[in-house]
Structure 1
C-alpha cells in the first residue's frame, strides 16, 4: 500500500459538484451586494447612526484631528474603506475560483490536495470579511463596541435617517457572507476527508494510467497484458493447419503475413 497525496480521487465527488450550485447563487448575491456598497453607499451612514445612538465612535474624529493638529486616530476596520474594497475583491475572486474548479473537475485535474489548499485560503478570506463587517470599534473609550450595531440591533434605529434599506442591505451582506463561509467549510471538510488514508484507494497500482486515480477500464487492462498471457485464439491470430498440404492437423498459429508469403509462392493453405 502506498499513500499518494497528489493523484487522489474525490471520495465524495458528486456532493462536491452539487455544492457548486448554491455556491454560484451565493457568489452572484455577493457580487451584487458588495458592488452596491462600493464605494461608500451606507458605511458612513451606519457609522453616524451608531454614534448618534451612543453605539460607536464619532465618524468626524478625523476632522477633529486635522482641526486640532493632533495625530490622526485609527479608523476601525469595520468603518474603513479597506473592508469595502476587500469584500468586492473576494467576491470577484470567488467567481473566478468557482469557474476554475468546475473546469478542472470536468477535466479530472482538480485533485483534493488542490481543493484543500484553495478552500483553506478562501475560508481565511471570508473569516476576515466576517470580522470586518461585524468587527469591534474601540476608537472612542466612551462608546466602546464589540459588534457593529447594525448586526446586533434592529434597523429601527435607522428610521430617523431614512436609512432602513441601507441597514437591511448591510445585514444582508453579512448574512450571505456567513453562508458562503459555511459552504467553504463544508467543501474543506470534503477535501480533507478525501485526503485521509484509505485502503481501497492507496493500493499501489504501477500499471494504472488513469488521471483521476481510478483503475483503467477492462479494455485497457487487456491491452496492457503481456502477449504470453493472452489466449492463443486472439483476434490477430488465426489457428489454421500448417500441414494442410498433407492433410495433417496442427495447432501452429497462422497469421496474415504467413498467408501473404504462401500466396506469393502459389501455396494457398486451403487449396488441396
Structure 2
C-alpha cells in the first residue's frame, strides 16, 4: 500500500461545492460587518457604556496616562483598533482564498495537501477573531470582565437607544464571525477526511499510468519477455516476421529446418 501525498482526490465533490457556496455568503457578510465597524464605529462607545454599567474598565485610562505622562496601559484586545483592523484583513484574505480555491478546484489542482495549509490558517485566524470580540477585560481590578458585556448580556441592559443599536450590531458581527469559523472548521474536517488513507492508496500506480504492468490498451505486459510462454497470454505476431520462441526453435531443429531458411523459403 503506497500512500499518495500530493495527487489525492476529495471524498465528496458535492460537499466541496456546497461548502464553497456557504463560504461565499459568510465571507460577504463578514466583509460588510467588519468594513462597517472600521475604524471605530461602536468599539469605544461600547467600552464606555460597559464602564458606566459597571461591567468593564473605562476608556479614560488612556487620557489619564497622557495627562500624567505615564506609559500607556495594555489595552484589552477586545477594545483595540488592532482587533478591528485584524478583522478587516482576515475578511479580505478569506475572499482571496475562496476565489483561489474555486478556480483551482475547477482546474483539478486544488489538492488536499495544499488546501490543508489554507484551512488551518483560516481556522486559526477566525478563532483569534472570535476570542478577541468576546475577550476579557481585566484592566481595572474593580471592574473585571471575563467576557465582553455586549456578548454576555442582552442589549436592553443599556437604556441608551444608540448603545443598544451598537450592541446589536456587535452581536451580529460576532455571530457572522462564529458562522465563518464553523465553515472553516467543516472545511478542515473535509480536508482531513480526504487526507486519511483510503482505497485509492491501494491501487497499483503502474496499472494506472500504463507502465510495466499493462499496455496502453490494458493488455497485461510481462516484465521478463522470456517467460511469456509460461503465461496464458495471447501473442500477436508482427507483420512481415515470424515470431520464434525457444519451443519453436527446438521443434525446427528436430525437423532440420532452420528459422532463416523457413522464413525466406
TM superposition score category, shorter chain reference: 0.7 to 0.9
Question: What is the DSSP-based 3-state SS (H/G/I as helix, E as strand, rest coil) of the residue aligned with 1:41?
Answer: coil
- 1:222 maps onto 2:193 in alignment: no
Please name the residue that 1:154 is paired with: 154
| Per-residue deviation, 1:70 | 2.1
Question: What is the DSSP-based 3-state SS (H/G/I as helix, E as strand, rest coil) of the residue aligned with 1:138?
Answer: coil
Q: Does the CA-based 8 Å contact 1:134-1:148 persist in structure 2?
A: yes
Please name the residue that 1:71 is paired with: 71
- 1:178 maps onto 2:178 in alignment: yes
Structure 1 residues 224 and 103: alpha-carbon distance in aligned structure 2, compared to 1, 3 A threshold: farther
- 1:17 maps onto 2:44 in alignment: no
| Per-residue deviation, 1:225 | 7.3
Q: Does the CA-based 8 Å contact 1:57-1:143 persist in structure 2?
A: yes
| Per-residue deviation, 1:200 | 3.6
Structure 1 residues 165 and 207: alpha-carbon distance in aligned structure 2, compared to 1, 3 A threshold: same
Alignment of 1:169-208 (within 5 A): 169-208=169-208
* Higher mean C-alpha deviation, range 89-98 or range 150-159: 150-159
Which 5+ residue runs of structure 2 have no aligned equivalent? 226-232, 241-265
| Distance in 1, Cα, partners of 2:120 & 2:171 | 25
Deviation digits for residues 17-72 of structure 1 (CA, Å, limit 9, x no counterpart): 21111110000000000000000000000001000001000101011011122222
| Per-residue deviation, 1:126 | 0.3
- 1:130 maps onto 2:130 in alignment: yes
Q: Does the CA-based 8 Å contact 1:49-1:157 persist in structure 2?
A: no
Q: Does the CA-based 8 Å contact 1:158-1:167 persist in structure 2?
A: no
Alignment of 1:87-166 (within 5 A): 87-160=87-160, 162-166=162-166
| Distance in 2, Cα, partners of 1:40 & 1:231 | 81
Which 5+ residue runs of structure 1 have no aligned equivalent? 210-214, 243-272
Question: What is the DSSP-based 3-state SS (H/G/I as helix, E as strand, rest coil) of the residue aligned with 1:20?
Answer: helix
| Distance in 1, Cα, partners of 2:187 & 2:72 | 43
Please name the residue that 2:243 is paired with: none
Please name the residue that 1:86 is paired with: 86
Structure 1 residues 188 and 170: alpha-carbon distance in aligned structure 2, compared to 1, 3 A threshold: same
TM-score of the aligned structures, taking structure 1 as reference length = 0.77
| Distance in 2, Cα, partners of 1:81 & 1:180 | 21
Structure 1 residues 124 and 232: alpha-carbon distance in aligned structure 2, compared to 1, 3 A threshold: same
| Per-residue deviation, 1:207 | 4.8
Question: What is the DSSP-based 3-state SS (H/G/I as helix, E as strand, rest coil) of the residue aligned with 2:104?
Answer: helix
Question: What is the DSSP-based 3-state SS (H/G/I as helix, E as strand, rest coil) of the residue aligned with 1:168?
Answer: helix
Which is helix-richer, 1 or 2? 2
| Per-residue deviation, 1:196 | 0.8
Report how many residues are paired: 228
Structure 1 residues 230 and 164: alpha-carbon distance in aligned structure 2, compared to 1, 3 A threshold: farther
Q: Does the CA-based 8 Å contact 2:53-2:158 persist in structure 1?
A: no
